[in-house]
Amino acid sequence: MTKQLAIRLDGGGIFGFGHAKRCVALSKFLEKEYNIKSYFFSRFNKNLEEFYLENKVEYQFSFKNDDFEEEGFIYDILEKGYKVLFLDKLFPYSEDLVEAIQKRCKLVLFHNDCKGLTKATKVIFPIAHLSSEVLELINSLRPGQVLHGPKYILLNEEVTNFRNTNSEKNYIAITTGASDPEGVMLSLLRWINESNLQQSFVFLEGFDLVHKVELREYQKKLRENITVKPFSYSLLFNSSLVISAFGVTTYEVIYHKIPIFTIGHALNNAIASKNLEKNYSVNIDFGFFRELSQKDFISKFENLIINSNLFESIKENQTNFGLDHLGIHRIGKEVDLIFKNYE
């Protein structure tokens, strides 16, 4: 008998596509390995709908684009009778709401440190940049309730199956996510183009880029050592160095053991970038984008780029980081176990 899983996430625009990509990858794995069928529930976004259709998943949209409607949306999902609800959304779910959900079904909180996490059936952080405060809270909960760290980072098959083909690796790749609402790519493009840097830079344009019109206009002014190309894993993983807005891509680059400079496009991402560098030294943190000036960025880049020993140290730390292709297997096993315990 097919088991049914409800997945709540948002994607596209300000939400980016990291949550959607990893959950679709997980849903395919769950159906193949455990006969668990996933149903997606999201706020409407045209590009997200195209992504869902392309990946042949079943979905339902809410057309109320307001966080005040989140609780109502959750109750609408619960009315459908799913035994397990998987929440991959950064929303401050309260203890009362989580307890109400738990009375109707089992709840998996995915990458969410809300107040209600202590009441969830299972909490999974597919990251390695948790704050000391969250780690302290986790240690106070029952063993096994919360899973986190490199072994639970979820990478899709396109990432884990990729094999490098470029032995020269003579360019620096810059990626800022699928949508980049903060305009990090456009700022970096201007800063580098107006500097004296002579390295070869390839900017990887996200398919849902918010500032596409401005980007097209500025491209006309680029020096010969700077190009803009559509995002592809081939261009990303065949580079010698990556500069990236902090997020899912950070771990994808670490998996392929490429030195990476990370920038927080939002304050929570900036804190995460700093935590990851502090705890594991697998990246170089450039801080919060809104607090970063052109002068500071160029100066830090010039000082770091000549330090070959630093790059070798980062690669060694990435090798010892413990990130492998089995995160999706470990998470899938946990979800299946929840269904079995429910029965």
Whether domain 158-319 has CATH 3.40.50.2000: the reply is: yes
Task: Give me the pLDDT at residue 63, please.
Answer: 82
By percentage, how much of the chain surpasses pLDDT 70?
Answer: 98
The mean pLDDT value for 100-110 works out to 96
Give per-residue pLDDT as tens, 270-284: 999 999 999 999 999
State which H helix or E strand residue 217 sits in: helix 212-219
pLDDT band at 169 (very low <50, low <70, confident <90, very high): confident
Task: Give me the pLDDT at residue 94, please.
Answer: 94
pLDDT greater than 90 at residue 49: yes
pLDDT greater than 80 at residue 167: no
How many degrees, rounded to 5, is the angle at CA 312 between CA 311 and CA 318?
A: 90
HEC secondary structure over 69-119? HHHHHHHHHHCCCCCEEEECCCCCCCHHHHHHHHCCCEEEEECCCCHHHHH
Task: Give me the pLDDT at residue 206, please.
Answer: 93
Q: Can you tell me the distance from the alpha carbon of 284 to that of 304, in angstroms, rounded to the nearest whole number?
A: 9
CATH, domain range 3-155+324-342: 3.40.50.2000
Give per-residue pLDDT as tens, 187-226: 999 999 999 999 999 999 998 899 999 999 999 999 999 9
Candidates 317, 241, 306, 320; CA nearest to 278 is 317
Give per-residue pLDDT as tens, 261-312: 999 999 999 999 999 999 999 999 999 999 999 999 999 999 999 999 999 9
pLDDT greater than 70 at residue 66: no
Residue labelled with tokens 């405060």: 133
Task: Give me the pLDDT at residue 228, please.
Answer: 98
Please say whether the dihedral angle defined by the alpha carbons of residues 269, 275, 278 and 283, taken in this order, is positive or negative.
Answer: negative
Task: Give me the pLDDT at residue 10, please.
Answer: 94
pLDDT band at 15 (very low <50, low <70, confident <90, very high): confident
Q: Can you tell me the distance from the alpha carbon of 85 to that of 109, in angstroms, rounded to the nearest whole number?
A: 8
Q: Can you tell me the distance from the alpha carbon of 38 to that of 6, in angstroms, rounded to the nearest whole number?
A: 6
The mean pLDDT value for 76-84 works out to 95
What is the pTM assigned to this prediction?
Answer: 0.93
pLDDT band at 325 (very low <50, low <70, confident <90, very high): very high
Every domain range in the chain assigned CATH 3.40.50.2000: 3-155+324-342, 158-319
Task: Give me the pLDDT at residue 245, please.
Answer: 97
Task: Give me the pLDDT at residue 341, please.
Answer: 87
